Amino acid sequence: MDASTKFLHAHATIRFRKNLITHLENDSGILITDHQQKELLIWEPFKERLGVNGFTGVLFNLGNLLDTDIDLSALVAPLYSSRSGSGCKIFTLR
């Protein structure tokens, strides 16, 4: 190995050690070193903080909130005009 390869390997090893969580301490003060146990120790409180598990229902009428008389015909109009230089042109890739 040349000097630059040794340097890069040493740098990667140092970065790996900085990013590695070797152990966690649970609420009882016990050190957890097993990867799966550390994962559970982190995941359970995170899962609890995500939100409420039960669905309480919708408290408003969606039909009253949505306007069904909107003219959507502009959404299906072509994106380009037959006149040159105006609008966008659509290209297909082959």
**Domain map (residue ranges) of the chain:** 1-52
The Cα 42–Cα 32 span in angstroms is 11
pLDDT single digits (tens) 20-66 = 788 999 999 999 999 899 998 988 888 888 765 566 676 777 777 77
Number of residues written out for the chain: 94
Tell me the pLDDT of the chain averaged across its residues: 75
Q: Encoding tokens for residue 9?
A: 């390997």
**Longest CA pairwise span in the chain (Å):** 75
- For residue 37, the model assigns a pLDDT of 92
Band of pLDDT at residue 6, cut at 50, 70 and 90: confident
